Structure 1
Amino acid sequence: MTRLNSQLQQDDVPLELVLLIQSLMVGCKEISFRVGQGALTGVLGSTSSENVQGETQKKLDVISNQILKDVLIESGHVKSISSEEEDDVVACNPEGKYLVSFDPLDGSSNTEINSLIGTIFSITHGTDGIQADDPSGFLQPGTQIAAAGYVLYGPSTMLVMSTGNGTHVYTLDKTQGDFLLTESNIQIPADTAEFSINMSNQRHWEPNIQAYVADLLVGKEGPRGKNFNMRWVAAMVGDVHRVLSRGGIFLYPFDNRDPSKPGKLRLLYEASPMAFLVEQAGGMASTGETRILDVMPTDIHQRVPTVLGSKNEVEACLAYTK
């Protein structure tokens, strides 16, 4: 099987970016080990602190964030870091070429039930003339992403990543410590009969999304003329991995509980990297109004509504919003 480094070389990825991805994967393998140890090492449960998002931090959130910070700073190729768990950007090497944004442990509440969790990341080029501690360097649309992906910590540890040459799937061979290519250039089926959304928020959605989901729920007797299944992991990495694996549509739409937060998912750490992967796999990703990768960030912790997955189904959903 092809090793990760060999595939990156085949895709003509610059050497410094290859070395950066290598460093990032060292951190993710360490997180995979810590997650796998679970209660044996006392890493489960919550801390007494909140992150900048106002969310109570899990112990593994803090541990994973520190692991990734350490390996990325040590790599020497990173100018600065932006993390969901950090209030501000973290300056690394002023001479580094790349900026890295990440959610160190997406779905961390699932650790308490031993369910799917993962690390989401995106890498962009640093901007000349902007200091390493200046967050404005990260205010780039997703079209500028050089590499994005996630590492899924499940029954096997999997890396799903794109450097702009298709979306590839790698599986961690724990006997050798290498990520090996197990699927190349995956493609999301254009049509689907599966949707993923947190139905407990239904009463807070805007009428157009309520109408769309209602039509899915009535199945073949309704205007869509077919039955749909609903699946929900409660971790974006798990739900998007299913979409990439067999098709589907994933939604985290705007709801009216807090108008100051136009969505739950963070643009830099979740929506944009996942949109990059989905588009590279032939799917579609939108805020409900515009292509996610075209959104110009205004803040490193900006949130956006998210609709992504099978192209024809995303278009069907968007027809309700027009």
Structure 2
Amino acid sequence: MLRLTQFLKQKETSNDLIELINLLMSACKEVDSKLQNGDLEGILGSAELENVQGEVQKKLDVIANDIVKLTLQQSKLVRGMASEEEDHSVAANPEGKYLVTFDPLDGSSNIDVNVSVGTIFSILRAPEDLVGCNDEAFLQAGNTQVAAGYVLYGPSCLLVLTTGEGVNIFTLGHNGEFYLTRENVRIPDTTQEFAINMSNQRFWEQPIRDYVDDLLLGEEGPRGKRYNMRWVASMVAEVHRILTRGGVFMYPWDSREPHKPGKLRLMYEGNPMSMLVEQAGGRSTNTKIEIMNVDPESIHERTAVILGSREEVDTVMDYHQKAR
């Protein structure tokens, strides 16, 4: 089996990008170790703090954020970073050529019940005229990403990665090395599986309500087939299932906070997951345009997300088009 570094070299990935990806993986391996020990280290439960989003942080949110942040700050390649858990961007090396955005522990509400969580990351080029580091430097559309991926902390620890040439999956071995275990992952175009939080149904826009209502009618409805529903409340787990066997994941706009375009974060979740899904042959949209074509206005900007098997996402868009 090919090790991560060997595989990236075969793909003629630049040495700098290989070094940065390996650095990120060293941080993720430390996070994985903390998760494996769990309550033995007293790291479960709430930190009794709120992040910039107004969400109560788990202890491991804070720990994972510090691990990734401190690791990246040591690199000569990183100009700065932006995290879901930080109010503003964090400077690193003034000469660094890359910017990194990350969600240090996606799905952290699942930690205390021992369900899969993960770290999501996106790598951007630092603007050539950038002096120091500021929030504005990160306001790049998702289609400018150099690389994106996530580490899924589950029964096995997996890295799912794209550098713009397909999606590949690596498994962490007992020796601390990531090995290639699935190459050129492709999402099936069709599916009979969807993921959405049904408890929010009364807050959705009508097109999403109509679409889900038709799915629930199964063979007797307009779709003519039976659908299964899944919901893990961990985006890394939801997207990983889609990359593995297809499906559609939806976190649409809802009326509880009508001034916000959605709940998920564009820079830390929407863009990197969209890059992975599109590189695997799927589609990702905010119901108006492709997510990676959005020009962000702030590092903590939110977005609606519909992503997964191409034909199913196209169908969701058809429902919206008919309602306009």
Fold match, TM over 0.5? yes
Cα offset for 1:129? 1.7
Give 1:116's aligned amino acid. S
Q: Displacement, 1:2?
A: 0.6
- Residue in structure 1 matched with residue 46 of structure 2 by the alignment: 46
For 2:35 and 2:245, the matched residues in 1 are separated by 26
Cα drift, residue 131 of structure 1: 2.8
Equivalent residue number for residue 169 of structure 2: 169
Q: Which runs of 5+ in 2 are unaligned?
A: none
Offset of residue 10 of structure 1: 1.5
Quick check: 1:229 aligned with 2:228? Answer: yes
Name 1:274's counterpart in structure 2. Answer: 273
> How far did residue 133 of structure 1 move?
2.7
Shift of 1:260: 2.1
In structure 2, the residue corresponding to 1:164 is in which secondary structure?
A: coil
Q: How many residues align?
A: 321
Determine if the alignment matches structure 1 residue 144 to structure 2 residue 144. yes
Please report how far the alpha carbon of residue 259 of structure 1 lies from its aligned counterpart in structure 2 after TM superposition. Answer: 1.5
Q: Which residue of 1 aligns with 2:85?
A: 85
In structure 2, how many angstroms separate the alpha carbons of the residues matched to 1:132 and 1:238? 35
Deviations 1:92-124 (A, max 9, x none): 011000000000000011011000100000000
Q: Show the counterpart of 1:102.
A: 102
The residue that corresponds to 1:283 in the other structure is 282
> Aligned AA for 1:109?
S
Matches of 1:246 and 1:82 in 2, distance apart?
31
Residue pairs, 1:252-267, within 5 angstroms: 252-267=251-266
Paired residue type of 2:115: S
What residue number does 2:205 align with?
A: 206
Contact in 1 for aligned 2:75/2:92 (Cα 8 Å) = no
Q: Secondary structure at the match of 2:115?
A: coil
How far apart in 1 are the matches of 2:49 and 2:178? 34
2:32 counterpart residue number: 32
Cα distance in structure 2, aligned partners of 1:137 and 1:192: 38
Q: Could you tell me which residue of structure 2 aligns to residue 64 of structure 1?
A: 64
- Code of the aligned partner of 1:281: A
CA displacement at 1:134 relative to structure 2: 1.2
Using the TM superposition, give the Cα deviation of residue 196 of structure 1 relative to its aligned residue in structure 2, in angstroms. Answer: 0.3
Code of the aligned partner of 1:288: T
Give structure 1 regions of 4+ aligned residues with deviation exceeding 3 angstroms.
none
Taking only the aligned residue pairs, the percentage that are identical comes to: 54
What residue number does 2:157 align with?
157
State the match for 1:191 in structure 2.
190
SS in structure 1 opposite 2:146? Answer: strand
* Structure-2 separation of matches of 1:161 and 1:132: 28
How far residue 140 of structure 1 moved from its aligned partner, in angstroms, is 0.5
Cα deviations across residues 252-303 of structure 1 (Å, max 9, x unaligned)?
Answer: 0000111221101000000100000000000000001100111111100000
Give me the whole-angstrom Cα distance separating, in 2, the residues matched to 1:256 and 1:39.
38
Supply the distance in 1 between the matched residues of 2:118 and 2:126 (Cα, whole angstroms).
25
Distance 2:267 2:10 in 1: 27
Q: Does 1:310 align with 2:320?
A: no
User: 1:49: Cα distance to partner?
Assistant: 1.0
Cα distance between partner residues in 2 of 1:26 and 1:65: 14
RMSD of equivalent CA atoms: 0.6
**C-alpha distance in 2 between matches for 1:52 and 1:114:** 25
Q: Tell me how far apart the structure 1 counterparts of residues 258 and 80 of structure 2 sit (CA, whole Å).
A: 31
| Residues in 2 aligned to 1:135 and 1:52: alpha-carbon distance in whole angstroms | 14
Give the Cα separation in 2 of the matches to 1:296 and 1:13.
27
Tell me, in whole angstroms, the C-alpha distance in 2 between the residues paired with 1:76 and 1:48.
Answer: 34
Distance in 2 (CA, whole Å) between partners of 1:194 and 1:131 is 47
Deviation at 1:167, TM superposition (A): 0.2
Partner amino acid, structure 2, of 1:185: N
Structure 1 unmatched ranges of 5 or more: none
- Partners of 1:12 and 1:256 in 2: how far apart? 47
Q: Tell me, what secondary structure is at the counterpart of 2:87? A: coil
TM-score using structure 1 length: 0.99
Matched residue SS, 1:75 = coil
Find the counterpart in structure 2 of residue 76 from structure 1. Answer: 76
> Can you list the C-alpha shifts for 1:144-201, whole angstroms capped at 9, x where unaligned?
1001000000000000000011000000002x11000000000000000000000000
